[in-house]
Amino acid sequence: MTYDMPDLLKATLFNNSILSEWFHQLSIVKHKGYANYISDTKPKKAYQVKNITPLIVVGVGLKDKYR
């Protein structure tokens, strides 16, 4: 499964090695969910990255609370 990672998410992970490590431990499905979430948000992308950072650290996907 492939997906396009938004530049902002790539830059954030590149600049924060600990966050990158946590992110790469997540499943590909969760990677794609985060990538889509950042891609779909137009005006406040940087704010959205800050919102998902704690979720990545604890290993939670965006839709996990609904399962």
pLDDT tens column, 40-59: 766 666 777 888 888 888 88
**Which tokens go with 6?**
């938004």
- The CA–CA distances, whole Å, from 31 to 38, 42, 59 equal 11, 19, 11
Q: What is the pLDDT of residues 13-30, one digit of tens each?
A: 999 999 999 999 999 999
Q: Are 53 and 20 in contact (CB under 8 A)?
A: no
What pTM value is reported for the model? 0.71
46 phi and psi angles, rounded to 5 deg: -60, -40
What are the residue boundaries of the structural domains of the chain, listed by start?
Answer: 7-66
